[in-house]
Structures are given as structure tokens and as C-alpha cells.
Amino acid sequence: MVGIVSYGTYIPAYRIRLADIAAAWKKNPDEVVGSLGVTEKSVPAIDEDAVTIALEAALKIFEDKNFQCKPSDIEALFVGSESHPYAVNPTSTIVGELLGVGHNYLAADLEFACKAGTAGLQAIAGLIGSGQISLGLAIGADTAQSKPHDILEYTSAAAGAAFLLGSDKGDRGDTMNKGKKIIAELLAYTSYSSDTPDFWRRDGIRYP
């Protein structure tokens, strides 16, 4: 079976209250907070972006000293984001370099509004299920891309999640998950995709 071997998350430490955003635009803070059901959101530090957030989430996986997997065991690394900091320069290879994955791995950046990370997870699961790789890392990481005074400004925030995927049996006579039990089996998944014109951002434009 294919499943999640381990995972890590990262949320920037800084916060901003929705009431403060509403007050800045002369809106009623109580009405805004009451309608959205959110009181605050995470804000990245000046030196944080989708790359650093993705890396921090991935590093959490390997903080466990009893965890037998090493970054060099990873054979595929996909990073899904709407806010890759570089138009040309993959986020996935930067994360792989800083994580110490090496060079013999498949890397790819994915982009898709609100589901690039899960698309990467499905792709990694497919590679493992077909026997092409033993261990893969899927990461979703983003920073807010909302335009000032837009409704998204109130809830669009920053965070990252990394999922290390493996299998309970190997195709090369070894154990794919390197001695770590699968904590969540991927039984099935499905996708729904459409060209939904809710918001978009052309190349060179700062906000969607």
C-alpha cells in the first residue's frame, strides 16, 4: 500500500488581526470578523517566502532522531504553490539542495489555484504505486497574494505542509519506507478540475 510515512508543517510566527485590517479600510471590524469567522492570519517575516516556508515544513520531518529515512533517500520532490518567488528558478531544487537530497531525484514545481500541493501528492503517490520510486516528498507552500482592500486580504495567509510518501513493500527487495511505518494509507482519491474564472493573475502583474 502507498501512504504517508511522515509529515511536517510550518506557519510563520507573525500575525495580523482582521480587525486591524478592517479598521485601516474604515470597515466595521465586528462585521468583518463576524462574517468571516476568522480573527487573525499568519504573516511571513521579511525574509520568508514560499521557498523558506516549504523548507521549514520539510525539515520538521527529519527532526525525529529515531526516524530512519534521510533526505538523500528521497527520489522525487514536488512543490506546489501559487507564490513561487522566481519565475525562472525552481522552488523544488532550492528546497532539495538545502535539504540535502542530492542530485539523483525528480524535481518539479506545480502551480494551481488552491490545489497545487495536493496535485503533487497525487503525482508522488502514482510514482510510488507504479514502482518507479520508493520515497517521495510532496510540499504545498504559499504566501498571501491578495490585493490590498480585496476580500482575500482578510484571510489569504502564509503556511506550508510537507508529506513524505512511501510504501509498505519494496520492488527491489528492500523496505521502501526504510523502517518507518505508514501513518495514513492513501486508499483512493479523485479530482475535479475546471476553468473557473474567479480570479487570475497575468505574468508581470503583482496581484490576482
Q: Please classify residue 110 by burial: count the beta carbons closer than 10 Å to its beta carbon, then call 0-12 exposed, 13-18 middle and 19+ buried.
A: buried
In a domain, 164, yes or no: yes
In a domain, 201, yes or no: no
Q: Mean pLDDT throughout 84-98?
A: 96
Q: Tell me the pLDDT tens digit for each residue of 146-168.
A: 889 998 999 999 999 999 999 98
Q: Of 178, 169, 113, whose CA–CA distance to 146 is shortest?
A: 113
In a domain, 140, yes or no: yes
170 pLDDT more than 80 = no
Q: Of 110, 125, 126, 113, whose CA–CA distance to 78 is shortest?
A: 110
Could you give the angle at the alpha carbon of 153 between the alpha carbons of 149 and 157, nearest 5°? 165
Q: What is the pTM of this model?
A: 0.91
- Lowest-pLDDT choice from 50-64, 165-179, 188-202: 165-179
Report the residue count for the chain.
208
The domain that contains 115 carries what CATH number? Answer: 3.40.47.10
In a domain, 194, yes or no: no
Using a pLDDT cut of 90, give the percent of the chain over it.
75
In a domain, 195, yes or no: no
Confidence (pLDDT) at 68: 83
In a domain, 170, yes or no: yes
Give me the domain span that covers residue 139: 2-185
- Lowest-pLDDT choice from 2-11, 140-149, 170-179: 170-179
Using a pLDDT cut of 70, give the percent of the chain over it.
94
131 pLDDT more than 50 = yes
Task: Quote the number of domains for the chain.
Answer: 1
Q: Mean pLDDT throughout 6-31?
A: 97
**Confidence label for 177 from pLDDT (cuts 50, 70 and 90):** very low
Q: What is the mean pLDDT of the chain?
A: 91
In a domain, 47, yes or no: yes
173 pLDDT more than 90 = no
Q: Mean pLDDT throughout 158-184?
A: 75
